[in-house]
Amino acid sequence: MAVLMVALGGALGSVVRYLVGGWVAERWGTSFPYGTLVINITASFIIGFFLAFAQDRARLSPYWRLFIAVGFVGGYSTFSTYEYESIRLLQDGEMLLGMLYLVGSMAGGAIAAITGITVGSLI
């Protein structure tokens, strides 16, 4: 049952990642990896919120934690894509953009996770 919950969550997360990435690309273009940035920051918020909420407020089955935190967020988040896009920007001579992306993703992700934990603990 645990493997099934991770698989279902991962499938859903992957589809949502694809849809969000496409939506962001349509609006902001693809000259900068905006989609990956948005996805990673929202994934940080989601996991922070959900795990804080699940731990502090809700008595959820461990299967829900597997479905959301491991499956959905694992399928939705894009760390390997983030790393690849960062290196490509740097290799293409886009030092400022590459560094902004590296630092912005890490700082934005940390802020989003802290915010998610805070909100999840309050609800």
The number of beta carbons lying within 10 Å of the beta carbon of residue 123 is: 10
Read off the pLDDT of residues 46-92 as tens digits, 9 standing for 90 and up. 999 998 888 766 678 889 999 999 999 999 998 888 998 999 999 99
Measured distance CA(90)–CA(92) in Å, rounded? 5
Give the residue extent of every domain in the chain: 2-21+33-122
Measured distance CA(60)–CA(34) in Å, rounded? 34
In this prediction the pTM is: 0.84
| Residues recorded for the chain | 123
Ramachandran category for residue 29: left, alpha or beta (phi over 0 → left; psi -120 to 50 → alpha): left
